[in-house]
Structure 1
């Protein structure tokens, strides 16, 4: 029999209830059921709390997790980064070797991109060289026409350096049958006098023409500098012997005349050696460093070549191992410097949002190789021009065995060389440049050179070979 008022509760209880044995039994069963209900309620509450805490933990952890960019995993981002760097390196090589260098280097003689047709505008090398030389003559004539006060010859007091020019009248034959007067001496002396020469420098011209009066430029310049003639006023009594012997004798004559002023240094120039603007200031700086023994050799054993042919400055074509090693180190330094700059630029442009940056990676190696190849394509003689930015960047290093266009002698070295030549200790078949290299080795001298060159060679017509001797690189 069911009790009234129990309703749904009674139906529920009946499921869990034991067989009814009276009123007390019903009470105890009801208590048991209520207790079970409370326990189930507490259990469900605990489960809900655990779920809520778990949800809170997940919500708190989510901000610290990194979301893949555009749904790409970390491995995918790594692959994308490699592809981007590869395409960037390819674009770098194409822009450098197919666009930038061809535009900049097509007029640079020793560059692999040199184009003679574009450089000369269709003219022949001889015609172009004469055109450049004529423009230089016009500038030299204009300089002397504006120079009203003639520079009187300096006295012999306190002369630290004598700059001597060995000169002879030159003429060239052109294809139309006429004669061409290059007038090198007028150009080179004008270039030198435009420099700020210290009062301790004396300029001397050695006219070694067999007929001195025929060298009209030397006669004209006697108003501005000291001019001495080897063959006196009336010229040579008899024709000279072999031209190579005459060249050596003329050179030693001018060197001996320069020593008569008792200078500390003698700079002997051929008349086609044109000074580079600002070279005198650099020369004074280099001499001071030589005297301070900054270059680890004695000044009293110095023979410094201030001009070296540009073709020899490439240094992979020389027999001097020290120069080859030095050139390799220059290439490596260019690669490291340029590669570092390109890598930093790539980081700033393409990796600004990344937290970890690496300098040494594949892109850096590609940039380094690119800079080395670009330096080889441009060629070292043209890269040396960057050192003219400051006189502190000029280099003094071992000289190649060549050329006498511009050589700086210490007084003791000059005296030894004159003595050796006059005593006949140099083989007769040696030209003057080979004889100087022979004596340098015999006397234990230090033949060095200054790079980049302080003088340029503008000679197109050789008095020794009696003809046109065009080197277009000197007019580039």
Structure 2
């Protein structure tokens, strides 16, 4: 499910201007340093040559060699392939995940006493790591007494051979990944219950979900085939409200409402639990009530193409400036340790400026999205920022916040120019509700086949 159309902008369309801008800045800097260097005494000329060499080697040799396969860098070459090639590669990766999911889910069905072959999961000769055959995992238990986090996957059938014969099976992949993550020890910190929410208007023909509903508790919006005559954005909003309200019927402390083409990353539960623990403790470390306000929500995914420095979110320009100044200062310290300050650089302020500018351009060239990946080294490195307005593939709500969203959206009408993510943004301002974004993303968006716009999206915007 893809949100408001304003968020759909091709990732590679903007890289050309960025690359040209970077080259212009470099040429301007080059001419400026040469002109200044000619008027400077010998140490100044030496510094000018040193800087030109540093910039040239970095931006024309080193970074192109290192970043040509890094998506979101200005050197990324994958977008040179035509759209059909990109779709073929995207679906090839999708097929690998489907195969892994089928192998894993066979064991889950066996654990529940069902036959994988009769449930339409297909045959396989090899099984990956086996689950406990004695009992259904606790997160699939219908009698779960307490639910801290209700994870509800909103799902609707895709493609139905409207565009081609390919079956993306996104729901199968996401269920597999949740079951795999929930069976790990680092997910046992809180009681978690997994749900499916079928909002397909012809549920009897949605065989992928019907197969999975035998092991995962399912909310069914339409018992029979239903012909809706409302705007598709309004139906999407109504589906969202239904699934959120159905999740609240289990009285969870939190509801994680996700779309079926949002694949959770391996660090989902350790990071999410750490964030909730952090805001549930005071400075002395004693458990107290949540330090969050009563009504809030936290986005665990934001489109990667909108996470760069060029998106101009309020916190990103100071972030870029502070990182550049810090690394510039570190290099100056390195020069001093090596004894190069006197022989090469005579003006410490000018040196700091040019080195900071150098790192600023390096970070822009690499891409903020790629720098964010370094934060995955530890759950302590993730950061919480104000949430942008777009989009809703994965949002964590406390129960009070979820109820407020249900009440507000139920009284709001959505349309093409006012999708549910915009309605949530409007609610934030009217109710004074807090919204956060956890970075980097804890989910991957794998939905190439859009159920909202009934078309195949460009891989560059997925």
The two structures have a TM-score, normalised by structure 2, of 0.75
> Against the structure 1 CA distance between its residues 443 and 274, is the aligned structure 2 distance closer, same or farther, given a 3 Å change threshold?
same
| 1:184 alignment partner in structure 2 | 170
Where does the alignment leave 5 or more consecutive residues of structure 2 unmatched? 1-39, 113-135, 284-289
Q: Secondary structure at the match of 1:113?
A: coil
Task: Tell me, in whole angstroms, the C-alpha distance in 2 between the residues paired with 1:237 and 1:273.
Answer: 26
Which of 371, 376, 379 matches 2:364?
376
Change (3 A) 1:81 1:358: closer
Alignment of 1:301 with 2:291, yes or no, is no
The Cα shift of 1:398 comes to 0.9
Aligned-partner Cα distance in 1 for 2:297–2:272: 13
| C-alpha displacement of 1:91 | 2.0
Deviates more, 1:208-217 or 1:406-415: 208-217
Say whether residues 1:200 and 2:200 are aligned partners: no
CA contact (8 A) 2:234 2:413 kept: no
Correspondence for 2:155: 167
The residue that corresponds to 2:72 in the other structure is 110
1:276–1:456 contact (8 Å) kept in structure 2: yes
Does structure 1 residue 96 correspond to structure 2 residue 82? no
Change in Cα spacing, 1:102 to 1:173, as seen in structure 2 (3 Å) is farther
- Cα distance in 1 for partners of 2:326, 2:84 equals 40
Confirm whether residue 435 of structure 1 aligns to residue 423 of structure 2.
yes
Aligned to 2:459: 471
Query: Does the CA-based 8 Å contact 1:344-1:359 persist in structure 2?
Result: no
In structure 2, what is the equivalent of residue 258 of structure 1?
A: 247
Q: 1:85–1:375: structure 2 CA closer, same or farther, 3 Å change rule?
A: same
| CA distance in structure 2 between the partners assigned to 1:452 and 1:358 by the alignment | 40
Cα-Cα RMSD? 2.9
Q: 1:127: which partner in 2?
A: 88
**Cα pair distance change 1:281/1:164, threshold 3 Å:** same
Give per-residue Cα distances to partners, 1:88-115, cap 9 Å, x unaligned.
2222112211122111222233222122
Q: 2:309–2:320: 8 Å Cα contact kept in structure 1?
A: no
Q: Cα offset for 1:454?
A: 0.9
Instruction: Work out which structure has the larger RCO, using CA pairs closer than 8 Å and 6 or more positions apart in sequence.
Output: 2
State the SS of the aligned residue for 2:76: coil
CA contact (8 A) 1:396 1:449 kept: yes
Q: Against the structure 1 CA distance between its residues 172 and 92, is the aligned structure 2 distance closer, same or farther, given a 3 Å change threshold?
A: farther
**Is the contact between residue 109 and residue 473 of structure 1 (CA under 8 Å) also seen in structure 2?**
no
Q: Distance in 2 between matches of 1:238 and 1:270?
A: 22
Could you tell me how far apart the structure 1 residues matched to 2:99 and 2:61 are? 37
1:257 Cα shift? 0.9
SS in 1 for 2:311: coil
Deviation at 1:362, TM superposition (A): 3.8
Confirm whether residue 270 of structure 1 aligns to residue 259 of structure 2: yes
In 1, Cα distance between equivalents of 2:325 and 2:61: 23
Q: Which whole-Å CA distance do the structure 1 matches of 2:390 and 2:83 have between them?
A: 33
Q: Is the 8 A contact 1:461 1:470 kept in 2?
A: no
Separation of aligned partners in 1, 2:62 and 2:142: 51
For structure 1, the residue ranges without an aligned partner over 5 or more in a row are 1-77
Indicate if the aligned counterparts of 2:177 and 2:263 stay in contact, CA closer than 8 A: yes
Give the Å deviation of 1:450. 0.7
Contact 1:312 1:400 (8 Å CA) reproduced: no
Give the TM-score normalised by structure 1: 0.73
Q: Distance in 2 between matches of 1:260 and 1:315?
A: 41
What are the within-5 Å matches in structure 2 for residues 407-446 of structure 1?
A: 407-422=395-410, 424=411, 426-429=412-415, 430-446=418-434
